């Protein structure tokens, strides 16, 4: 009987515990929250040329829990978001966001990108400035196939202030010769591809080995075409020389020209000779497969009176006939200036160059002038035999707006010239 009572009590206690447990409600656990972190929050692109672009990156990171997701806009004024705009970041993940600043107008640009999901705002700043010279070669392209002895058009686009251009042909990144040593920057040039030009590595023409380089002569800025093919039915070597003329001014004794094989895979054997006693050549013969052989032309003015002398170097080869290089030599005084450019940047007021007689005796009578009202020189004329005449150039920025200014000092003389000294001056923003 006592045992039955104890058992009844145990059962009652267990039922009471179960009832109490069923009445207790579980504590609510909040969903994990993402936390957005952006670094940096300001991107300063500084100066970018109008029509060009500059790219920077900021980091979008989830430093909390849960999932951070959203969609970035395509652009914010002249600042464009590149790549995939969508993001979905779990804890610890980040997205690198590339922003390009492409100004279409001069001046300062600012845009504030308002993010969502608790992300801080990102501020973009930059300034559009005057474009310098840029070139972009449009053709030939990688799918271009040209054939020797055909006329084909080379095309390019210029941006900014560009002058005449140099057009060069390269094979396997080695320069072959000048297609045009100096031609107007019109955006196109028709080239008669020489007969017997060949790809000297893969002469079957199945692999693109050639490319064309176009250079703005004044600034040196350049661009290359894509690699392309030139089909070459003839594989015989071809004689090419560059340049085709040498001008020995009174201060020059030696000048060089190059001989190279612009044809097929066979070696080019060559010889050179001059038709004037006052010139000598070294070396006088050689052979070349793909390399360029250099020949030095030395002139001797001993016993010669003042004046201009002309002659020729005759180049013969085992293939492709002969070629000639015109050689001129000047005897007498000659005008030389020590600098071709003076850059005053934003802080120089005075810079100088000198005028000398770099020829052979005699007297140089010279005069100098400037092309801009904000320029002045301390001497406008003079004479020199063996001494050096210094010229001081002064610039005055008073009343000028910020920007880049260009001018010239033009020097003329009774022997040689005119020579031009380019002057560049910047006026800083107020």
CATH of the domain at 304: 2.60.40.10
Q: How many domains does the chain have?
A: 4
CA distance 314 to 296: 13
Residues 10-27: tens digit of each pLDDT: 666 566 655 555 555 555
What is the rounded average pLDDT of the residues 136-146? 91
Q: Do residue 324 and residue 349 come from a single domain?
A: no
Q: Do residue 144 and residue 108 come from a single domain?
A: no
- Domain span holding position 272: 239-331
The b-or-e profile of 277-307 (16+ CB within 10 A means b, else e) is: ebbebeeeeeebebebbebebebebeeeeee
> What's the whole-model pTM score?
0.38
Tell me the backbone φ, ψ of residue 19, rounded to 5 degrees. Answer: -65, -40
CA distance 430 to 347: 13
pLDDT of residue 83: 86
Residues 302-313: tens digit of each pLDDT: 989 888 899 999
The answer to whether residue 149 sits within a structural domain is yes
Q: Do residue 418 and residue 347 come from a single domain?
A: yes
Q: Do residue 180 and residue 124 come from a single domain?
A: no
Closest Cα partner for 425 from 396, 389, 385? 396
Q: Do residue 323 and residue 352 come from a single domain?
A: no
pLDDT of residue 9: 61
The last residue of a domain, from among 331, 360, 375: 331
Contact at 8 Å (CB) between 387 and 370? no
| Positive/negative CA dihedral, 185, 190, 192, 197 | positive
Residues 120-137: tens digit of each pLDDT: 889 999 998 877 788 999
The answer to whether residue 22 sits within a structural domain is no
Q: Do residue 121 and residue 141 come from a single domain?
A: no
Q: Which residue has the higher pLDDT, 316 or 51?
A: 316
What is the rounded average pLDDT of the residues 136-160? 90
Contact at 8 Å (CB) between 94 and 60? yes
Q: Do residue 209 and residue 253 come from a single domain?
A: no
pLDDT of residue 12: 60
Partners of residue 169 on adjacent β-strands = 177, 212
The last residue of a domain, from among 231, 249, 275: 231
pLDDT of residue 32: 81
| Positive/negative CA dihedral, 337, 339, 345, 347 | negative
The last residue of a domain, from among 184, 206, 231: 231
What is the rounded average pLDDT of the residues 38-61? 89
The answer to whether residue 346 sits within a structural domain is yes
Q: Do residue 319 and residue 377 come from a single domain?
A: no
Asked whether the predicted pLDDT for residue 226 surpasses 50, the reply is yes
Q: Do residue 307 and residue 356 come from a single domain?
A: no
Residues 86-97: tens digit of each pLDDT: 888 899 899 888
The answer to whether residue 21 sits within a structural domain is no
The answer to whether residue 288 sits within a structural domain is yes
Q: Do residue 202 and residue 247 come from a single domain?
A: no
CA distance 122 to 112: 6
Quick one: three-class SS letters along 41-88?
CEEEEEEEECCCCEEEEEEEEECCCCCEEEECCCEECCEEECCCCEEE
Q: Do residue 66 and residue 85 come from a single domain?
A: yes
The answer to whether residue 379 sits within a structural domain is yes
Query: Do the bridges between strand 68-71 and strand 86-89 make them parallel or antiparallel, or are there none, so unpaired?
Result: antiparallel
Q: Do residue 120 and residue 50 come from a single domain?
A: yes
């Amino acid at each position: 009987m006592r045992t039955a009572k104890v058992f009844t009590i145990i059962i009652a206690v267990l039922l009471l515990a179960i009832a109490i447990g069923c009445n207790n409600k579980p504590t609510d656990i909040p969903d994990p929250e993402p936390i957005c972190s952006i670094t940096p929050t300001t991107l300063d692109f500084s100066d970018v040329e109008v029509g060009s672009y500059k790219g920077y990156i900021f980091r979008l990171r989830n430093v909390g829990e849960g999932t951070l997701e959203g969609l970035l806009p395509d652009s914010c004024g002249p600042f464009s978001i590149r790549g995939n705009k969508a993001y979905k970041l779990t804890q610890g993940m980040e997205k690198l966001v590339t922003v390009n600043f492409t100004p279409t107008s001069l001046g300062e640009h600012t845009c504030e990108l308002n993010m969502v999901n608790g992300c801080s705002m990102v501020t973009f700043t930059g300034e559009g400035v005057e474009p310098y010279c840029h070139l972009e070669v449009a053709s030939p392209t990688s799918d271009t196939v040209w054939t020797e002895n055909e006329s084909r058009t080379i095309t390019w686009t210029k941006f900014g202030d560009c002058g005449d251009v140099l057009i060069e042909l390269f094979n396997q990144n080695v320069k072959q010769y000048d297609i045009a040593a100096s031609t107007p920057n019109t955006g196109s040039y028709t080239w008669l591809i020489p007969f017997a030009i060949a790809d000297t590595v893969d002469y079957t023409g199945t692999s693109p080995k050639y490319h064309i380089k176009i250079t703005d002569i004044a600034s040196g800025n350049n661009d290359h075409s894509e690699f392309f093919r030139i089909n070459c039915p003839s594989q015989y070597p071809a004689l090419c020389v560059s340049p085709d003329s040498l001008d020995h001014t009174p201060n020059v004794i030696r000048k060089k020209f190059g001989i190279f094989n612009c044809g097929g895979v066979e070696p080019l054997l060559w010889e050179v000779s001059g038709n004037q006693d006052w010139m000598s050549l070294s070396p006088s013969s050689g052979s070349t497969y793909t390399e360029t052989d250099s020949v030095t032309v030395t002139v001797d003015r001993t016993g010669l009176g003042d004046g201009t002398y002309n002659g020729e170097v005759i180049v013969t080869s085992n293939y492709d006939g002969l070629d000639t290089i015109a050689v001129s030599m000047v005897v007498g005084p000659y005008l030389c200036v020590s600098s071709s450019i003076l850059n005053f940047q934003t802080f120089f007021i005075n810079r100088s160059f000198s005028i000398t007689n770099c020829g052979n005796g005699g007297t140089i009578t010279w005069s100098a002038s400037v092309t801009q009202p904000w320029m002045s020189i301390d001497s406008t004329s003079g004479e020199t035999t063996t001494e050096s005449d210094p010229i001081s150039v002064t610039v005055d920025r008073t009343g000028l707006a910020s920007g880049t200014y260009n001018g010239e000092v033009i020097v003329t003389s009774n022997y040689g010239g005119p020579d031009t000294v380019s002057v560049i001056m910047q006026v800083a923003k107020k």
